[in-house]
Structure 1
Amino acid sequence: MSSPIALHTIQYNTQDIDNDTLILLYKNLLKPRLIEEKMLVLLRQGKISKWFSGIGQEAISVGVTMAMNMDEYILPMHRNLGVFTTREIPLSRLFAQWQGKASGFTKGRDRSFHFGTQEFKIIGMISHLGPQLGVADGIALASNLKNKNQVTAVFSGEGGTSEGDFHEALNVASVWQLPVLFCIENNGYGLSTPTNEQYRCEHIADKGIGYGMESHIIDGNNILEVFTRVTAIADSMRQSPRPILLEFKTFRMRGHEEASGTKYIPQELMDTWASKDPVINFQTFLKDQGVLNESLEIAIKEDIISEINTHLKIAFDEDDIVPDKTNELNDVYKSFEYQEIEKKPETNQLRLIDAISDGLKQSMERHHDLVIMGQDIAEYGGAFKITEGFVKQFGKERVRNTPICESAIVEVAMGLSIAGMKSVVEMQFADFVSSGFNPIVNYLAKSHYRWGQQADVVIRMPCGAGVGAGPFHSQTNEAWFTKTPGLKVVYPAFPYDAKGLLATAINDPNPVLFFEHKGLYRSIRQEVPIDYYTLPFGKASVLRKGDDVTIISYGAAVHWALETLDNNLDIQADVIDLRTLQPLDTETIYTSVKKTGRAIILQEDSLFGGIGSDISALIMEHCFEYLDAPVKRVASLETPIPFLKQLEEQYLPKNTFESELKSLLEY
């Protein structure tokens, strides 16, 4: 540790805290400091790869964690080692995590504190920082729905408050009155950018006013002030659930990470905050009060150092991970054993939109922990009226209107999953998912692979052109997500498929993007079983059979292909409706292509980078010797989608498919 100062410069108020608690606070404060000092040595020795120091900020992590109940979730960041140690995670597991050993929390797949553990109710951050704020909202929402009277604490730095996720998360928490403790560590710099270049208000706590939210400023270097004030605030929140914004004034005494250094910080400022060291000041205070003497201090330090060295040896002695492709691939998704619930003979003729509504309603009846969220989905019934009448049947707790904040609502859904609940999020239009892209591809998609946490979330995606809605309401953007390992992508073309696949999507504990073509909502009808049933993922539907050519498609384009064949009865084709794009039924594709010797892929999405390109490549790799012609792809123009009818018709491949098909057959 640093050299002791003669007098403590922080004013402490014990407020009737007994000596045992004071000593426990001291031990918990000292432990992360001693671990950090050891880690800095190991970093210089090349035995760990990177380190984000929390030296000078330990009082916040320790004080907040000790104020929380052990069954309440905490979402820390990379300077909150004290959260992990105060929750008494075995040090050998932390050390193994930092060294990329198997007994760590991410099996070498992620570093630092980028992990979570349900055992210790800690959910770590991702490098994008902001998403964890909305995830905390979701965990707190689950607490409210289950009447648990629990508080969720989430950490961020002053730099993170500049992100849109901060605004969205605080706004949602305030509107829904969620018991989230937003803990903002204002340590002066976001990497090298000072606070006067981050925001213009005097205090971050002032931002609470705009959200109608209670806020407080706390001396983040005063362990007693942090512990006592957060304890009182958390107790109040359990009695009266609501969000509270806390700004902890503190300072980062080392670089953003060790390689960045601190040359950009004035020495006078460093000296001022060095005199406010939370560990040394509290140690000096306890000695002044006669609570701590030299022999006890030495004994405590020796005990912690012995624990560190013992657990370091355990971690160092553990074998290195041996790469295994099977293990890596198997952990991308949570295992899901599909259970087929067979359809009963009674049917109704339904439109696609009615089948989706019916399937969603029956899943709500079947899963009492299922929550659906989206803009205008409650009393209004959604932009397309799919959830009309749901509030009357299920109530506003489970059918939730959301503010316009796609990112936060996806994050809320992740939080619900962490807390053991299912959710369906409706994007009003699939185009708007771009505002929630980050948490989908970086949080939902990667969580199970990183630390075994499922993202039990379905995101409904009303998509597609043909309705003159223009560039921002007509995209079919499935290729954004088929590229991302960890996501499943479903795209039905018929009411029967839509209902059964939606039921499976909700049953599946993995994140599912469920595409619904708006142009098909009210234009097609089909006999659909009245009762609940499921359909498997990864199983395409062969709609027609023939020996001339294999037509592969999905969504509205399936109907264009069928229409073309109806107008050309001399063409005998296998027509494959993929139904799910991830997982993809390659077996059905290969079997058909090996029979026909020709393949044409029709997609509504623009050509370059679409899933048709991958399917074409797969056919070339696996069926090349059976082909009598090159694989052909037919898709929309390489432009955004125009709204004017004649321009939209020119954009879509519907009218060019027939000539392309005949050209392939003539090859």
Structure 2
Amino acid sequence: MIFDRKNLDDNALIAIYKKLLYPRVIEEKMLILLRQGRIGKWFSGIGQEAIAVGATLAMEQGEYILPMHRNLGVFTTRGVPFHRLMGQWMGKASGFTKGRDRSFHFGTQEHKIIGMISHLGPQMALADGIALADVLADRKKTTLVFTGEGGTSEGDFHEAVNIAAVWNLPVIFLIENNAYALSTPTQEQYRAKKLTDKAIGYGIEGRQLNGNNILDMYYGISEIAHSIRQRPRPVLVECTTFRIRGHEEASGTKYVPAELIAEWQDKDPLHSFENFLIAENVLRPEWIPFLRDGFLKEIDPVIDRVLAEKDIRPNIFTELGDVYRPFARPSFKLSPKSNIVRFIDAIRDGLLLSMSKYPNLVIMGQDIAEYGGVFKVTENFSELFGKERVRNTPLCESGVIGAAMGLALNGYKAIVEMQFADFVSSGFTQVVNNLAKTHYRWGQNVDVVIRMPTGAGTAGGPFHSQSNEAWFTKTPGLKVVYPAFPADAKGLLMSAIADPNPVMYFEHKYLYRNLTGEMPEGEIFIEIGKARIVKKGTQATIVTYGYAVHWALEYLSLHPDQSIEIIDLRSLQPWDSATVIASVNKTHRALVLHEDTLTSGFGAEVAAVIGEKCFSELYAPVIRCASLDTPVPMDKNLEKQFLGKSRLEKAMQQLLNY
């Protein structure tokens, strides 16, 4: 292996060597602890340290790095305290996630490191958003994100690289090609001769580096990073190396030919660099054990101290309290003036006011700029706020949601418009595993709102009409709102945008231009999690939300002799169980009504709570009225039969006559 020291003096070379040696010493110690049964799992990066260390040294301290679970050298080179790392690996309170996650599944804003999650690939889109924030703020920075050769098979890889290419984002996509994705060799993973060839398809630069050569890594990433700070654009970098240990220690390496392991052991990045330094008379052989011993004397007491730390004492209130970032509704003065507006205009007004209120707010989605979105909600927005803040996106839901999260990690707020709520399934991992779990895992707020044009009634069929709110109400960490009136649409949207937590904002397409109502001028913030009693009554309570609120009102207009209380939940996560319980205890009968399908719809949760909390006050069983357990049909007559509205009359008779 040939090393080119260029202009590095002896002290600089020794400093690099120490950075390379330190994670190796830690790793070797971890393997000893693993054999002793003192730790439970370890993902070894032995033999790959030059990539993490060299690339990190090349980055400026204030630039973000998104590593993976074999990149200990990123954390040690950035100066993350070893006792915090050890506490993290041991699931102690001194770790970054308070025992809630393991390995490198955490972030630290202090060190500008955003760790991965187990779903390989999503971190790459986060890098896009982080880089976009730097571009919007005119910061001359680059972002470095790691993936493996196996990760290049993920759709997230394609989406992230494509977004970065289209938007000229200063991201270095670093592929650690270590020959095996767990046990799958490269010939079963891709057909390209080299992974840098993939760059051609995206119209970006590709470069291959020797991942076992610390100086090649340092100079190569330094050059690329410097260049794209000046001229923002993505670069795809393939770093060739080899994983000489198992995917994780329990899996072993029996599937790898022994001669292949031997070949790469001869290319060990640490030993090769040591030999070079010795030949250059920079390092004396007798210094090596001295340096190793020094590191061991540093880490051994820390290991003993962390292992001796008390186990975490579970506290329900602490756990529940950390799922969301605390948020107080902004103060505002309600305007005495109001107008009668359409539902869609209320949403537009909430967006317009929020875009003016928060200069760091960015809206992203398909066709939302000049075209104004398929429903024209953002028409003229790009003229008012510029295409930098009102951004057309490629057709890639996962990548865009990930980019929104990256924006939030780097100081921005983001709104993502799903063209239809149905399409969010293509970005499901980003929503339920990245957005939802980040604050609970390591205390990072994620200011992202996903607008979800939802619902039936427009003959949209199975893929443009779903009421899929229940996909998200059972996921801790997400807030879910679903307004039924213009004033609520505006007030809940403004609250969702102000809220530092991820919010799924459902807006019914049928109501856009078919419903009008009174809406106050100026700012209005409606508390998320607070229901509204739309109509007071004494005979029974209908608990509902969204378009179904209007089904209930229509039912009452046809039955003026009945005294029915209607509760519009408005928010589904959190939801206002106290208001519901108080109403049912008063009326003694309850019907839960929603547009979603019956089985496992959100109404099942509401009905269960009523049954549990109001059992002694009920005069009749809790009745649920919802849509058929089928996909949403397109034909208008089939759709009418599908919707729960067609069974509301019968359901209310059953409840009242029991």
Alignment TM class, shorter chain as reference: over 0.9
Cα distance in 1, alignment partners of residues 8 and 15 from structure 2: 11
Structure 2, unmatched stretches of 5+, are: none
Equivalent position to 2:531, from 529, 533, 540: 540
- Structure 2 counterpart of 1:94, one-letter code: L
The correspondence for 2:518, drawn from 519, 527, 543, is 527
CA deviations on 1:227-268 (whole Å, 9 max, x unpaired) are 011111111111111100000000001000001000000111
Q: Shift of the alpha carbon at 1:11?
A: 1.0
RMSD over equivalenced CA pairs, Å: 0.8
How many Å separate the matches in 2 of 1:502 and 1:341?
Answer: 15
Q: Pick the aligned partner of 2:255 from 264, 278, 285.
A: 264
2:406 alignment counterpart: 415
Letter in 2 for 1:131: P
AA partner of residue 596 (structure 2): D
1:319-352 CA-partner distances (Å, limit 9, x unpaired): 2211111111110001111224232011121100
- What is the 5 A alignment of 1:61-72? 61-72=52-63
Shifted more, 15-24 versus 218-227: the winner is 15-24
Structure 2 residue 577 is matched with structure 1 residue 586: yes
TM-score (norm 2): 0.99
Matches within 5 A, 1:275-424: 275-424=266-415
Q: Secondary structure at the match of 2:110?
A: coil
CA distance in 2, matches of 1:367, 1:212: 34
Instruction: Give the aligned partner of residue 109 of structure 2.
Output: 118
Cα separation, 1, equivalents of 2:410 and 2:653: 54
Contact 1:342 1:534 in 2 (8 A): no
Q: 2: CA distance between counterparts of 1:361 and 1:472?
A: 29
Task: State the alpha-carbon separation in 2 of the partners of residues 296 and 361 from structure 1.
Answer: 65
Question: Which residue of structure 1 aligns with residue 137 of structure 2?
Answer: 146
| Aligned match for 2:197, one of 176, 186, 206 | 206
Q: Aligned letter for 1:242? A: R
Other structure's SS at 1:435 match? helix
Find 1:631's aligned residue among 598, 619, 622. 622
Q: Is the 8 A contact 1:217 1:247 kept in 2?
A: yes
Matched, 1:195 2:202: no
CA distance in 2, matches of 1:655, 1:280: 75
Instruction: Find out whether 1:647 has 2:638 as its counterpart.
Output: yes
Q: 1:584: how far off?
A: 0.4
Give runs of aligned pairs for residues 489-504 of structure 1, distance below 5 A. Answer: 489-504=480-495
Structure 1 residue 556: deviation in Å?
0.5
Which residue is equivalent to 1:5? none
Per-residue Cα deviation, 1:469-489 (whole angstroms, up to 9, x for no partner): 100000010000001000000
SS in 2 for 1:183: strand
Question: Who is 1:3 aligned against?
Answer: none
CA distance in 1, matches of 2:83, 2:650: 66
1:217 aligned partner: 208
- Deviations 1:98-147, CA, capped at 9 Å, x for gaps: 00111100000000010110011100000002100000000000010011
Q: What per-residue deviation string (whole Å, max 9, x for no partner) do you get for residues 80-114 of structure 1?
A: 00000001111111111100111100000000010
Q: Secondary structure at the match of 1:119?
A: helix
* SS of alignment partner, residue 514 of structure 2: coil
**Paired AA for residue 64 in structure 1:** A
| Residues 340 and 536 in structure 1, CA contact (< 8 A), matched pair in contact too | no
CA distance in 1, matches of 2:646, 2:465: 18
How far the C-alpha of 1:663 sits from its partner, in A, is: 1.4
Query: Match of 1:390, as an amino acid?
Result: F
Q: Residue type of the partner of 1:222?
A: N
Q: Deviations over 1:269-292 (max 9, x none)?
A: 111101000000100110111000
Residue by residue over 1:195-243, the C-alpha shift from the partner in whole angstroms, topping out at 9 and shown as x without a partner, is 0000001011100000001010000000010001111111111111110
* AA aligned opposite 1:443: N
**Offset at residue 294 of structure 1 (A):** 2.8
Q: CA deviation at 1:423?
A: 0.5
Matches within 5 A, 1:104-183: 104-183=95-174
CA deviation after TM superposition for structure 1 residue 297, in Å: 2.4
Residue number in structure 2 paired with 1:561: 552
Deviation at 1:456, TM superposition (A): 0.7
What is the TM-score when the length of structure 1 is the normalising length? 0.98
Question: Does structure 2 retain, via aligned residues, the 8 Å contact 1:340–1:533?
Answer: no
State the Cα deviation string for residues 362-400 of structure 1 (Å, max 9, x = none).
000000000000000000000100000101110000000
CA distance in 2, matches of 1:614, 1:572: 25
Give the structure 1 partner of residue 453 of structure 2. Answer: 462
Q: Secondary structure of 2:408's match?
A: helix
Asked if 1:41 corresponds to 2:40, the answer is: no
Q: CA deviation at 1:194?
A: 0.3
Partners of 1:248 and 1:310 in 2: CA distance: 35
Instruction: Name the SS of the counterpart of 2:111 in structure 1.
Output: coil
Distance 1:562 1:160 in 2: 52
Distance between the aligned counterparts of 1:130 and 1:144, measured in 2?
A: 23
Q: Provide the identity percentage.
A: 59
Q: Distance between the aligned counterparts of 1:662 and 1:460, measured in 2?
A: 36
Matched, 1:617 2:605: no
Cα shift at 1:298: 3.1
Using the TM superposition, give the Cα deviation of residue 310 of structure 1 relative to its aligned residue in structure 2, in angstroms: 2.4
